[in-house]
Amino acid sequence: MKISDTQQQSYNLQLTFLGTGTSQGVPMIGCDCDVCRSSDPRDNRLRSSIYIQTPECSFVVDTGTDFRMQALRANIRDVDAVIFTHSHTDHIMGFDDLRRFSHKNGSMPVYASPQTMRDLERVYKFAFDKTERVAYYLKPEPHVIEQPFSLGKTLITPLPVPHGDSMVNGYLLARGREKLVAYLSDCSAVPNAIVDLIGGVRALIIDALRHKPHPTHLSVDQALEIAGRVRPNETYFTHIAHELPQSAERDLPPHTHIAYDGLQLRF
């Protein structure tokens, strides 16, 4: 749903964390650790995704394995477009659940890098191949992105970052001349050029898997070091594994938070 006229008086962009977990989610199957057995609902994490609402439109970044459950839980009624960071399973396997919104809109604009779009077209051939398309299936409208683009009055700039040996997209969301959100859900480093581009952003949302180093994700210390260079107003960790409980937020520096499913940010 779009932001109403009344809501516009106080903010122009609302971000909802649909999921803040790693690829296996939290709790993990068959795990009896303290976090997986935690009674704190914030320790229950679906796969990482965000939902953006503005006065002009609404869109989702990534449709992971849990997207149907996330949409029901957040009472999502409108999705005008979908943007993908990359094509790993935990970020694309809810793609077909966009059918509900495609039916309302007639089609679904899909924004992704060239490689991610190729993967989507391969995995979801039945949807993209017009010669095989079934009338009641999702009708994707592909947009291959390598440059900034706009959805409504929100300027969206791709932020290519390494994710282990591969390159994936984060995104900078800006309205007017104000940098509102930098979303870097999956990365193992952030190049200096990206740090410079997002410097001073109001909210940095960044991969912080756990304290222990990982070959394809940032650790807590690495995420903190990058946040120190970006100098955001607030930092939010996401893509969190079961080794990092919500309670660990109390040990973080000021203006640094562990995001949780359902958390909303307004700008």
229's tokens: 């260079």
Per cent of the chain over pLDDT 70 is 95
pLDDT value, residue 133: 65
Spatial contact of 171 and 156, defined as CB atoms under 8 Å apart? yes
Spatial contact of 20 and 239, defined as CB atoms under 8 Å apart? yes
Spatial contact of 53 and 3, defined as CB atoms under 8 Å apart? yes
Q: Which CATH architecture has domain 5-266?
A: 4-Layer Sandwich (3.60)
Q: Cα separation of 51 and 231, whole Å?
A: 24
pLDDT value, residue 6: 60
Mean pLDDT of the chain: 95
For 235-255, how does the pLDDT look when each residue is reduced to its tens digit (9 = 90+)? Answer: 999 999 999 999 999 999 999
pLDDT category, 208, cuts 50, 70, 90? very high
* N- to C-terminal Cα separation, the chain: 17
Higher pLDDT, 134 or 126: 126
pLDDT value, residue 129: 86
103's tokens: 């039916």
Spatial contact of 95 and 138, defined as CB atoms under 8 Å apart? yes
pLDDT category, 124, cuts 50, 70, 90? very high
Per-residue DSSP letters for 97-141? GGHHHHHHHSSEEEEE-HHHHHHHHHHTHHHH-TTT--TTS--EE
Helix (H, G, I), strand (E, B) or coil at 238: strand
Q: Cα separation of 98 and 137, whole Å?
A: 9
Per-residue DSSP letters for 171-212? EEEEETTEEEEEEE-S-S---HHHHHHHTT-SEEEEE--BSS
* For residues 199-205, average pLDDT: 98
Spatial contact of 208 and 239, defined as CB atoms under 8 Å apart? yes
Q: Residues 139-177, buried b or exposed e (16+ Cβ, 10 A)?
A: bbeeeebeeeeebbebbbbbbebebeeeebbbbbbbbee
pLDDT at 8 over 70: no
Residue given tokens 């190729």 in the structure block = 118
pLDDT category, 106, cuts 50, 70, 90? confident
pLDDT at 219 over 90: yes
DSSP code of residue 66: T
pLDDT at 105 over 80: no
Helix (H, G, I), strand (E, B) or coil at 132: coil
**Rg of the chain in Å (alpha carbons):** 18
pLDDT value, residue 136: 62
